Chains A and B, each alone.
Chain A
Amino acid sequence: MPRTIKLHPFTILAIAVAVITMTTAASLWWLSCAVMALCLLIAGWAGHLKKLAVLSGAMLLPTFLSLLLIHGLISRDQSPAIAQWGPLRVTIHGLEVALSLGLRTAVLVVVGLLCGLLIDKHQLVAAIDLSPVPPQLGYLLAATLFLLPQMAEKQRQIGEAQTLRHMGTGTGLAGWFQRMRLRAVPLVLASMQDAQDRAVHLSARGFPATGSRTRLRTVPDSSVQRGIRWAALVCAVLGPMLILALAGFGSR
């Protein structure tokens, strides 16, 4: 059973932004690795370790491979090659660049995914609703988060109906493309119809609110958390500037 973190969603997001910006600016391999290890520990504690590992792997593996291809194998830098196959040459510098960029991307991906796993989506929508942003923003996010699974279900139903009519049953890559082509139009039409059907009733229920709005759901917050958020935002903005300034000063 996954555990939940009882922090305000904005607190988690603010800390995540600060960590990503400062780690990217620092560009230290050990710091990036430490941040990712910490993320895995938190994910393990919260019961999301497997999910985080699988999702991160699926996103980072192609990223690392493409970086290795660009900087590690076909790099034009003049440093000595440690291996060479015709036009392909592997250099120490190329590998260093690929690893450095890959680790920075990895921090962004792992921290971002961890946020997605730790934050309760309904709490996030409620937090946005209770903030002074326009109500449409909360609905847009909520619709993206909650209606997408419904669209996936609709797509499955359309697929079933087409299979019953002996269409979209091909195999392999060509079959996959055929299925996508056949399902796309009915899915878009059905989703538009659904949105139209819902819209009139949302209006009847007073959405979007013209005056002040409230939420039945509570999003626990505290002055300590508010302080953490401010500190994290300051770090997210000033931290990278300070790190870059120090790095520039040190190189002179």
Chain B
Amino acid sequence: MRRKLTHQSTAVLGLNLRSFAYLDGADATLRNMHLDVHPGSLTVISGHSGSGKSTLGAILAGLLPRHGMDQLVGTVKVDGTEIEFSPSSAPRVDVAQWAKHVGLLPQDAGHYLSGIRGTVAEELAFSLENAGVPREQMHRQVTQLAQRLRLEHLLERNPQQLSGGQERLVALAALAISEPEVLVLDEPLAGLDRQATELVSEMINMLRANGTALVVLADSMQRWAHEADELWELDRGTLQRVSSEKQQRQPESGATQRQPIPADSRVLLNVDSVQLAYPGSTEPVVQDLNLQVRSGECLGLAGANGSGKTTLLKAIAGLLEPSAGTLVTFGQTGMLLQNSSDQLFERTVFREVSFGIPKKSAARKRISEVLAQLGLESFAQTHPYELPASARRLVALATVMIHEPQILLLDEPTEALDEAGESKLRETIAAVLERGGAVILSTHDERFMERVAHRVHLMK
């Protein structure tokens, strides 16, 4: 059922949700919430991993409920039209039409890009092409948008060869070209280095200044609190307004808990004048690197995207041979990759952690213990793809920890982790250091780096 609203309502998007349940979901994922989004406003919705933020974002963007599958009870107001969903009437949503009013930037911005266009300019024009907009008009719109969002330098670049930050900028611009009244941004700053964070934040501010309402979904509201018009917390499937008092109490949970490095600690990693390059590439990624890591030590690797942090971690893990110099490790290494999905292959968490471990080995008996240490025991029989992002990241960590590595290598470990997950990660790092191991981590999360690393090596 649809009806045109009166002019009294100034909200460009309104949600009055009684319940939302996925197909085959035992319970409602979201319930009893009311949200109005006004032009040019910034609404921040925070919540831990698995709290339903992405589900809420997809509902606002018209991607959920899937017709004939999920069940939504409530109303959504878009472009002055109220759409009512009930068990007896579930209208089929034209997502392309909806996207003209509400756009969604997914957590992995690469998924928003078509992946089949040769230049950024074409990628920006993709939705206009599908709408049959004349070429000259498209060209004009793309040029104007690129000027407005300062993206001219990227227009002729291949979208497949953009960095993570540039990919997010292009996806944001591709969303903005249809000039929707509302943009829903799912973790828009996650995993970006400082420079990319500044660029993406700048673009978000420009869009807001142009009157676009923004709904930001984030694990933590800290980054957004001072500029947000409305702050909400998504907890146990429902929205609660965050009071200014609670907002004040947000900062810094837990202090630095680093143990000092024992004076007689032995060297576990020795990197001497190492040069690293990818096969087939003439340009080295890392040159003349000298590094030593001792037992009980946590070393942080800092540096901009492309400075060779991941390359160095892979070389220490034995995935890449140095093209010059020597790299010696004393003890087994274990590495947590940046993208957890690449590290998960099995159909249950238990099978995942036991992947490649002989049935009668001692490690097999430790699986339950490792799962319990990371708070994953209740997910043992769950498919890893069905877990919230934070738990999935911890499963990937469990697959590393089951081998009890002497040198633990972590590539952007806090990415996708919520507060509870980050706490488990800190405990894991502390446990490795306590048993005489070493940890080397690469992260853009300066706060986390400061809390766990004994020293930071800046990659150039």
Contacts and interface: CB of A to CB of B under 8 A. Distances in A.
Interface of A: 122, 125, 129, 135, 139, 142-143, 146-147, 150, 154, 157-158, 160-167, 182, 185-186, 189-190, 193-194, 197-198, 200-209, 211-218
Q: Which 5 pairs between the two chains have the least Cβ-Cβ distance?
A: A206-B130, A122-B118, A142-B116, A204-B99, A216-B125
Given A164-B334, A215-B129, A204 B114 contact: no
Contacts of B344: 186
Contact of B337 (A154, A161, A216): A161
A207 B138 contact: no
B345 A214 contact: no
Contacts of A203: 95-96
A157 B342 contact: yes
Given A163-B319, A198-B115, A212 B129 contact: no
Contacts of B119: 217
B121 A216 contact: yes
Contacts of B362: none
11 contacts: A163-B318, A164-B400, A165-B356, A167-B356, A201-B106, A201-B112, A203-B95, A204-B99, A206-B96, A206-B130, A216-B128
Report whether over half of chain A's contact residues are helix, strand or loop; otherwise say mixed. Answer: helix
B96 A204 contact: yes
Most B CB atoms within 10 A — which of A139, A162, A164? A164
B131 interface: yes
Interface in B307-342: 314, 317-319, 334-335, 337, 339, 341-342
Contacts of B339: 157
Contacts of B63: 200, 204
Interface of B: 58, 61-63, 95-96, 98-99, 103-104, 106, 108, 111-112, 114-119, 121-122, 125-135, 138-139, 142, 160, 174, 314, 317-319, 334-335, 337, 339, 341-345, 355-356, 385, 399-400, 403
Contact of B335 (A164, A189, A214): A164
Contact of A204 (B98, B128, B318, B355): B98
Contact of B111 (A135, A185, A197): A197
A92 to B, nearest CB: 47
A146 B385 CA distance: 25
A190 B122 CA distance: 26
Given A204-B61, A206-B96, A206-B130, A216 B142 contact: yes
Contacts of A209: 129-132
A213 B130 contact: yes
Contacts of A190: 341-342
Contacts of B317: 164
Contacts of B355: 165, 167
A29 B91 CA distance: 66
B168 to A, nearest CB: 14
A216 to B, nearest CB: 4
B341 A193 contact: yes
Contact of A214 (B111, B129, B341): B129
Nearest to A217: B122
Given A150-B115, A158-B342, A164-B337, 18 more contacts: A122-B118, A125-B116, A160-B319, A161-B342, A162-B345, A164-B335, A164-B343, A185-B345, A190-B342, A193-B341, A197-B111, A201-B112, A205-B174, A206-B130, A206-B131, A211-B131, A213-B129, A216-B121
A217 B335 CA distance: 43
A141 to B, nearest CB: 9
B319 A214 contact: no
A146 B111 contact: no
Contacts of A197: 106, 108, 111
Contact of B96 (A147, A157, A205, A215): A205
Given A162-B345, A205-B99, A206-B96, A143 B116 contact: yes
B441 to A, nearest CB: 16
Given A157-B339, A161-B343, A213-B132, A205 B115 contact: no
Nearest to B342: A157
Given A160-B337, A216-B129, A204 B115 contact: no
Contacts of A166: 356, 403
B169 to A, nearest CB: 16
B341 A160 contact: no
B386 to A, nearest CB: 12
B399 A165 contact: yes
B385 A205 contact: no
Contact of B135 (A146, A198, A215): A215
Central interface residue in A161, A194, A208, by most chain B CB within 10 Å: A161
Contacts of B95: 200, 203-204
A201 B122 contact: no
Contacts of B133: 214
Given A166-B356, A167-B356, A216 B319 contact: no
Contacts of B115: 143, 146-147, 150, 198
Contacts of A186: 344-345
B32 to A, nearest CB: 26
